[in-house]
Amino acid sequence: MDMRDDVLEVLVSTEEIQKRITELGQQIGRDYEDRNPLMVCILRGAVVFLSDLIRSIPIHVMVDFMGVCSYGGTNMDSTGVIKITRDVDANVAHRDVIIVEDIVDTGLTMKALVDLMKTRGPNSIEICTLLSKPQRRKVDVDIKYCGFEVPNKFVIGYGLDYDENYRNLPFVGVLKPEVYEKRKEEKG
- Is residue 162 assigned to a domain? no
- Is residue 111 assigned to a domain? yes
What is this structure's pTM? 0.92
pLDDT (tens digit, 9 = 90+) per residue, 18-28? 999 999 999 99
- Is residue 25 assigned to a domain? yes
pLDDT (tens digit, 9 = 90+) per residue, 98-143? 999 999 999 999 999 999 999 999 999 999 999 999 999 999 999 9
- Is residue 134 assigned to a domain? yes
Q: What is the CATH number of the domain that holds 90?
A: 3.40.50.2020
102 part of the active site: no
- Is residue 96 assigned to a domain? yes
Strands 172-175 and 7-12: antiparallel
- Is residue 110 assigned to a domain? yes
Catalytic residue chosen out of the listed positions 87, 96, 105, 140: 105
Return the HEC string of 83-146.
Answer: EEEECCCCCCCCCEEEEEEEEECCCHHHHHHHHHHHCCCCCEEEEEEEEECHHHCCCCCCCCEE
Give the domain range for residue 61: 15-150
Domain count along the chain: 1
